[in-house]
Structure formats: structure tokens, C-alpha cells
Amino acid sequence: MTINVNSLPQVELFGQGNVGCKGCGAAIAGRQAMKVLGERTIITIPASCMATLGGSNTRSAWRVPFYHTLFECAPAVSSGIRAALEIQGIKDVNVVSWGGDAGSADIGFQSLTGAAERQENIIHVLYDNEMYMNTGGQTGSQTPIYAITSNGSLGKKVRKKNMLAIMEAHGIDYVASANIAYPEDLMAKFQKAAAKKGFSYIHILAPCHRGWGIKPEETIEVARKATECGLWELFEVDEGKRTRTYEPKLIPVADYFKAQGRFKNLTDEQIAEFQKFVDDYYGKGE
Amino acid sequence: MALKQLPIVPSGDPGGLAESANAGVQRINRPVISDATKIDPIVILFCPDGAISLDESGFVISYKFCKGCGICAKESEGIVMVPEYTGPKGIF
Ligand SMILES: Cc1ncc(C[n+]2csc(CCOP(=O)(O)OP(=O)(O)O)c2C)c(N)n1
Ligand code: SF4
């Protein structure tokens, strides 16, 4: 399915007036998603940059109900909201929990796995900047191996936890990876997720220029390189059926790493290691 | 009124951040349309701040919302970044 940019709704349900940094990848993800989710949406966000940039107190950048939850429990709050809507017979509302990598894969994981197991009728989004950015860029389970962070100047020692595989193992209705540099693909996935009766999980790569050591204007370019080099595969698992939704050009992985300050210490051997992994995965190795 | 008739209220409008945005304080460079015919409409979806829109008159950039990140100028032709400050070498 293709989405025509010119025919999208003009209304901006999120984005305008957000208090994020310029060039924020998370804000881009939020805007693209809200263009398809529409105004009949309730959103819950745990402690994270996304919660902060949505505003606080009486001032909000969201034009839909936005609930800033505790760190551990956005999917649980969404489950409760869904139950309340059910009891009132309201059926046309999307309930979305929108967590960062810490709020979904680490500190918020227990409520996420619980909601997925119960097959709650909600969408959970992990917007992945691969660090704990709101508290200054610490290492988390979604930080890639070797990346330098504010509390890990030598680079991470272990690999990124594969959240997509973990969520797929829950046997939920819909699992997809997405990337802010491919808005049509991202929006088509939100459309599918919104139509499901059970639990959907969408994992969006959304670079943070401050954490990644890139310039603000390079946010989209670097995100695109992640997919084009084969490291961030775009795919979906729709009720068990896995499809790759975009065929990457397979540019050298070095193009992706060399663009980023957080990988400045990467050696040629380490880059070759990644290249071999990608080549094997896409069946291009000898 | 029965509970189920209550609207799901849009919460952002009165006094919301979208009404009184102050994005301009972050701006060092400002995007300016140099050739509207060359602009790729996809940049509307790349702008983090919803500052570019397309109406009947064509592309419009709102300086109320734009933080000057430069993504639009990098991703599309027809938009260029110009310094906000025009002193010697752009220093104000
Ligand atoms: C229980 C609890 N522990 C720690 C914090 C502090 N805290 C707030 S945001 C945050 C990091 C969020 O990281 P992530 O979910 O990756 O989102 P990002 O800020 O990177 O967008 C932390 C540790 C908190 N608010 N609550
Ligand atoms: S410079 Fe950045 S914030 Fe301003 S219009 Fe372009 S993409 Fe949007």
C-alpha cells in the first residue's frame, strides 16, 4: 500500500510547539504516526524525551489526550484505558502507548510483556534512539555494541537486545520495524496495527543527533543509512507471516558508522565484523 | 448526557504549546524557499516541528514553529538555509 503525501490530513495533532531539540527524531516519528492514527487516539507515554517534549502541566503539544505515565507502566495504563472504553461501548479509539527504549525494553518491560501476553487491544511503540537520552544519554539494552555513551566512554561491550524477536515470540497480532526516513512504510504499518483487534508492536528507529554525535540536519540521512546498509531491516510479522517491506541497497556499513561520533573509536576489524554479519544475513557472503 | 456521548476531548488547544510556540529561540539558520517547484513534498513528514505545510498557495514555512534544524534543506532541493544574524560572518 502506498500513501500519498499530498492527500494526508493537514491537521497537526502532534509536533507543532513541542519543546524538543531541533531535528528531534522522536518528534518526527510522532508526527508521522499521528497523521494516520488521527484524532480518535489516546496516547500514554512513560518518562522519556517524548513525554518531556509533549509538555507538562496545563501546556501540551498534543491535540489528543496525552497521559504521562510512570516509567514502568505505559502499556498497563493503556490496557486500563482500553478496558474503560470497552465498558462504555466506545469502539473507534486507538489506544497507543509510546515508550522510549528504556521505557519499553528495560525499565518498562514487565508491563509491556504483560500487556502483550494478555493480547490487549493496544499499539505499543518503541521509538528507539538507542540510549537513555532524557537523562543525558546513558547505555541501555538497545544501545548497539561498541557505541560510546555518556556513562560508557569505552563503548558498549555487549550486543543490542533483539526486542523485535522478543515481541514476535509473544505471538501477538502484529510486529513491525520502522524507520523515520521511510514515512510511507512507517505509516502503512500504523494503519495495519490500528486495524488489529489484538496487540501490535512497532519499533521505530529514531536517531537523536545529540546522543549519536551527528548534526541535527543529518537525522534523516543517518536513519536512512541504517536501513540501506542492511543493519536496520524493515519488516513486519502480520499474524505470524514475516515479510520484508523494503529491499535495502546494501551500501557499505562503514558509511553508516563513519557518519556518527558515537562510533568514532570503531576499528576497521570491528566494521568488517558488522559487514560480514550483514553479508551473511542477506545471503551475499561467499 | 450519557457517558458514551462525551467527546474524547482534544486537550492541546487552549493555551497549549502549539498555540504559543517559541521555537524561534533555537534558530541559528532559517529555511527559505528558493524554488517551490523543486520541493519534494516528503519533507512535510520529515520536519520534526510541523513547520512546513502545503496549502492552495503552495508550500508555507511557519517561523513560529521552525527551529532551524536544516533537515528540510538537506532532504530536498528548493529550500536553502540562511543565517538569522547578519553581522560580520554571521556573528551578531
Ligand atoms: C522509575 C524511574 N527511574 C528513572 C527515571 C529517570 N528517567 C527519566 S527518563 C529516563 C530515560 C528514558 O530513556 P528512554 O526510554 O530510552 O527514552 P529517551 O529519553 O531516550 O527518549 C530516565 C532514566 C524515572 N523517571 N523513573
Ligand atoms: S529547518 Fe527543520 S524545523 Fe525548520 S522547517 Fe525545516 S525541517 Fe522544519
- Taking the domains of chain B in order of start, what are their residue ranges? 29-83
- When pLDDT is cut at 50, 70 and 90, the band that residue B14 belongs to is very low
Distance (Å, whole) CA A119 – CA B85 = 54
Residue A121 neighbours by CB under 8 Å, 6+ apart: A82, A95, A196, A197, A198, A199
Q: Which residues of B touch A63 (CB under 8 A)?
A: 10-13, 16, 18
How far, in Å, is the centroid of ligand 1 from the Cα of A25? 17
Lowest mean pLDDT among A122-126, A148-152, B16-20, B41-45: B16-20
Residue A51 is which amino acid?
A: A
Residue A119: is its pLDDT beyond 80?
Answer: yes
What are the pLDDT digits (tens) for A4-25? 777 888 889 999 989 999 999 9
A31–B48 CB contact, under 8 Å? yes
Q: Does B29-83 carry CATH code 3.30.70.20?
A: yes
Q: Name the average pLDDT for chain B.
A: 81
- Residue B23, pLDDT score: 75
Per cent of chain A over pLDDT 70 is 98
The nearest alpha carbon in chain B to A62 belongs to: B12
In terms of DSSP bridges, do strands A94-99 and A123-128 run parallel, antiparallel, or are they unpaired? Answer: parallel
Q: Tell me the residue ranges of DSSP E strands in B1-92.
A: 29-33, 52-55, 58-61, 79-83
What are the pLDDT digits (tens) for A44-98? 999 999 999 988 777 788 888 899 999 999 999 999 999 999 998 999 999 999 9
Domain ranges of chain A: 10-281
Q: Does A10-281 carry CATH code 3.40.50.970?
A: yes
Q: Which cell is A85 given?
A: 472504553
A 9-38 near B (Cβ less than 8 A): 10, 12, 14-25, 27-28, 31-32, 35
- Residue A56, pLDDT score: 75
Distance (Å, whole) CA A57 – CA B27 = 26
Q: Which cell is A75 given?
A: 502499556
- Which residue matches cell numbers 482534544? B10
Q: What is the Cα gyration radius of chain A?
A: 18
- When pLDDT is cut at 50, 70 and 90, the band that residue B3 belongs to is low
How far, in Å, is the centroid of ligand 1 from the Cα of A216? 22
Q: Which residues of B touch A224 (CB under 8 A)?
A: none
In terms of DSSP bridges, do strands A235-238 and A241-244 run parallel, antiparallel, or are they unpaired? Answer: antiparallel
Rounded average pLDDT over A214-237: 97
